[in-house]
Structure 1
Amino acid sequence: MNLFKRAWWRLRGHLGKTVMLIGLFFVICTLVLSGFLIQSAAARAAESAKSSVGVVATMQLDLNAYLAAGKGSGGDDGQPGMIGADADLRRGLVDKICESSVLAGCNYTKDGVAAPTDQVELHQPVPSPSGQDTTAVDFFKADGVRHLNSVKDFRNGDSKIVSGSGITPDSKSDMVVIEERVAKDNHLEVGDKVKLNANIQHPDGRLGTKETDFVVVGIYKNSTADPGTYVPPMQAPSNQIYVTPDGATRLDGKELSADGGTIQSATFTLRNPDDLGRLKEDAESAGADLNIFPLSVNDRQYKTLVGPINKTADFASLTVWLVAVAGTVILALITASNMRERRKEMGILLSLGEKKRKLLCQHLVEVVACAVLAIGFAAAGSQFIAQGVGDQLLSGQVSSARDSTADQGPGQDLTDPTGGANKEDTPEVEPIDTIDIKLGAGDIGAVGATGLGIAALATIVPGIRVLRLNPRDILTKGD
């Protein structure tokens, strides 16, 4: 008799057991498919985060590597052990690296100060206390920036240009942007030529000044009001001026080289974290010595974004494995029990000449038929179940991540190789808190393969043990 007919009669004649088997497979396939869907959604979200945020790589001087390389004896005064000009990270070199195709953006800054002159005085609404020496703080804070819009105060709206334009990568080294209170105090307008004092350190340690020419290209307004009490001029927002990195180099009293001025560090935003190797190749091609100026990756933003959803995916992956293993064991026990109940049927069929492998195939067809029906039912409802489960799991992970961040407080980010120096270039981001579940043919194929694999293992393993016996032993021996 055809084994498929026998399988059909068996399934139809024992509807209770058939429904129970389909139900068990439905639960297993639903949980497995939900796990696959959550994993797929998390992978899509992580891939999207790579392109939307990227990873920040920082380039700056590694002093230990510089000294270990036998350099450091080329100081301006010729004394051994002094840091020479080869320790300067040049703006021209960084501009070449910024042309790399793997970058979504780049930035660099240089901190500096400028001493006031008779033409440009500090804004001090409250004079310094009588008898207090303020010589060390009577400066403008002069930040050399590549692009003014990348500065945190301008990015979040605390400062905005009210006249003229800001600093851009094309700005010249003599351009300066000043705050409107300083402009009013000194009767300055856009286009005026001004002089600022550069601070020069002589070889013998003496400090001096040098008048340096600039042109006012922009006037901005900072929303912070003047304090009611005295504060050091350098700490007052009104005394913050912006120049180019080359301009900040001039305010150090240094001459610009063919590669431009010096910068403290540069940040490069990668389109994809996997492109770091390509960026290093481009940097070496541009002439950078990556032993002295290494590229350190800070993927804090990316980890913040995808941390909770990756943990959700890991939990889903663990669930898939646990359900698959537990389902195989449970189904194997059920199949073994059914085979024991059908010992007489198998013994008679074997005594009539039926082959053992056909009997095993009949059992396999019965289980696979139940599995196929269950997979179809699971495919119809798993997307909604996975969406609900995924939302709940992700919500818990996001809440846990936020609580952990709150407990840590605003301490230093140990993943930032700059120690926080470039924090303005990496704005805070919120973790991904939504998961978009989509059912695809690949997911159905994966759960189908898993379900059929479970069915095969759960049938073949106990079936081989039972069918080792001959027909006489099956019919005469008890369980």
Structure 2
Amino acid sequence: MNFLKRAWWRLASQLGKTVMLTGLFFVICTLVLSGFLIQAAAARAAESAKRSVGAVATMQLDLNALLNSGKGSKNAGASPGLIGPGGDLHRDLVDRICASSVVAQCNYSTDSGAAPTDRMKLYKPVPLPAGQKDDGLDFFKAEGIRDLDALPSFRNGDDRLVSGKGIKPDSAGDMVVIEERLAAANHLAVGDRISLQVGNAPAPGQEPDRRRFEFVVGGIYRSGTPDSGRYVPAMMDPANQIYVTPEGGSRLLGKDPGADGGVVKSATFTLRSPADLDRLKADAEAAGADLDVFPLTVNDKAYRTLVGPITKTASFATVTVWLVALGGTAILALIVASNLRERRGELGILMSLGEKKPKLLAQHLVEVAACAAVAIGLAAAGSQFLSQAIGDKLLAGEVASARDQAASDRQGPDPSNSTGGPKSAGADGEKVEPIDRMDIRIGPADIGRIGATGLGIAALATLVPGIRVLRLTPRDILSKGN
């Protein structure tokens, strides 16, 4: 008799066992398919995050590497204790790197100071405490930047322009943006001209650099940090933070911008994907950068913040898939082994009638595979809704943990905050909220994967205990019984 017919009759006559086996397969396939769908959703979210956020690579001087390379010396500069020209990162080099195809956005800055003049006084809301002497080294904190809008504090909204416009790559070299309290203290408005002096502290025994440069107030901004109500050095007061162009920053450092566009302290490159760092390094070397002295390091914190919880959820789903698959295989193997034991008499009679052992095993495989096929169809119909519910629940827990950890990290004082307060939301960069929603979608590829997995489990669960059938003879089965 055809073993396919025997398999059908067996399934129809033992309807209770057939339903039980199908139900067990349904649970296994549903959980495994849910794991696959969660993994796929996490992969899509991570890819989307790469495109939307990318990663930020930073280029700045490595002083030890400079000294070890022999290109610089602590006394190579014009003044003792200063780094020589080998430690200068030039703007024109950075501009060439910015042109790389993997760079979505770039910015660079020059940290310098600016000494007050008779046409530009410092903002001092609280006078110097009694008993302390003014050492005459109070400066404005001047930052030469390429694009004001690219600064984290302006992206986050902690600082914002209230009049005029911000510095852009094509802004005039003499443009300056000042804080509104400083503007009010000096009675300045957009379009007014001011004078600033080079802000380098002189070396012992040397005269200060008294060169002055004219700037035009192009914009006025409002800082998100209020007055502390106590005395702080002028350079630490946020109202004394001014922004100039890279050329202006170079001049206030006492360096002529020249043909190379001036010097910058650090440059940041927002990559289209965190995987593009190697390509950026190659383009930087082709542009003439010495990556030993000016190394490129990636800060992918925004990307990790975005995908951290959903990646952990996907990892949990992966573990679940393996545990369910292995556990399901073991349970089904025990059930099949129990069925084979119960059907020893049937097997012995069929073998004595001349039925081939492989066909007996094939009959059992068809029975189990038929139950698996029905279960796979049912799982494919209902897994999307179940996966969405499970995934959202797991992801919500991971997101809550991530937010609690971020809040805990911000409880400590911010060393850059002159008021001694906690870190602001944008202290470490742009505000980024983790992905908190999974986009579960089921497609033909997912059904194919669960189909292959379900049938594979059916085959293993049948063949492993069924191998014993191939070692038995009709006499052994019928004479020894159970």
TM-score, with structure 1 as normaliser:
0.91
Partner residue of 1:464?
Answer: 467
Read off the aligned partner of 1:449 and give its amino acid letter.
A
Q: What is the CA distance between 1:257 and its match in structure 2?
A: 3.1
Q: Distance in 2 between matches of 1:207 and 1:373?
A: 90
SS in 2 for 1:177: strand
| Preserved contact between residue 72 and residue 82 of structure 1 (Cα < 8 Å) | no
Partner residue of 2:47?
Answer: 47
Q: Deviations over 1:134-160 (max 9, x none)?
A: 334532221211111223443344443
Q: Distance in 2 between matches of 1:219 and 1:67?
A: 41
Read off the aligned partner of 1:443 and give its amino acid letter.
D
| Preserved contact between residue 137 and residue 233 of structure 1 (Cα < 8 Å) | no
Q: Distance in 2 between matches of 1:125 and 1:311?
A: 49
| Preserved contact between residue 390 and residue 435 of structure 1 (Cα < 8 Å) | yes
Out of 446, 458, 472, which is 2:449 matched to? 446
Unaligned stretches of 5+ residues in structure 2:
415-422
| Preserved contact between residue 117 and residue 195 of structure 1 (Cα < 8 Å) | yes
SS in 1 for 2:404: helix
Q: Deviations over 1:172-211 (max 9, x none)?
A: 3221122344444444443333321113566765241211
2:439 is aligned with 1:433 = no
| Preserved contact between residue 151 and residue 425 of structure 1 (Cα < 8 Å) | no
2:238 is aligned with 1:237 = yes
Read off the aligned partner of 1:22 and give its amino acid letter.
T
Partner residue of 1:388?
Answer: 389
Partner residue of 1:417?
Answer: none
Partner residue of 2:481?
Answer: 478
Q: What is the CA distance between 1:451 and its match in structure 2?
A: 0.5
Partner residue of 2:357?
Answer: 356
Partner residue of 1:304?
Answer: 305
| Preserved contact between residue 152 and residue 429 of structure 2 (Cα < 8 Å) | no
Change (3 A) 1:384 1:200: closer
| Preserved contact between residue 138 and residue 232 of structure 1 (Cα < 8 Å) | yes
Query: Runs of 4 or more off by more than 6 Å in structure 1?
Result: none
| Preserved contact between residue 333 and residue 462 of structure 2 (Cα < 8 Å) | yes
Partner residue of 1:139?
Answer: 139
Partner residue of 2:417?
Answer: none
Q: What is the CA distance between 1:222 and its match in structure 2?
A: 4.2
Q: Distance in 1 between matches of 2:380 and 2:35?
A: 12
Unaligned stretches of 5+ residues in structure 1:
414-419
Q: What is the CA distance between 1:40 and its match in structure 2?
A: 0.8
Partner residue of 1:149?
Answer: 149
SS in 1 for 2:259: coil
Change (3 A) 1:277 1:121: same
2:166 is aligned with 1:163 = no
Q: Distance in 2 between matches of 1:147 and 1:353?
A: 86
Superposed, 1:171-210 pairs within 5 Å as 171-200=171-200, 206-208=206-208, 209-210=210-211
Change (3 A) 1:273 1:224: closer
2:65 is aligned with 1:65 = yes
Q: What is the CA distance between 1:100 and its match in structure 2?
A: 1.2
Read off the aligned partner of 1:138 and give its amino acid letter.
D
Change (3 A) 1:202 1:125: closer
Is 34-43 or 389-398 further displaced after alignment? Answer: 389-398
TM-score, with structure 2 as normaliser:
0.90
Q: What is the CA distance between 1:230 and its match in structure 2?
A: 4.6
2:319 is aligned with 1:318 = yes
Q: What is the CA distance between 1:402 and its match in structure 2?
A: 2.8
Partner residue of 1:15?
Answer: 15
| Preserved contact between residue 134 and residue 232 of structure 1 (Cα < 8 Å) | no
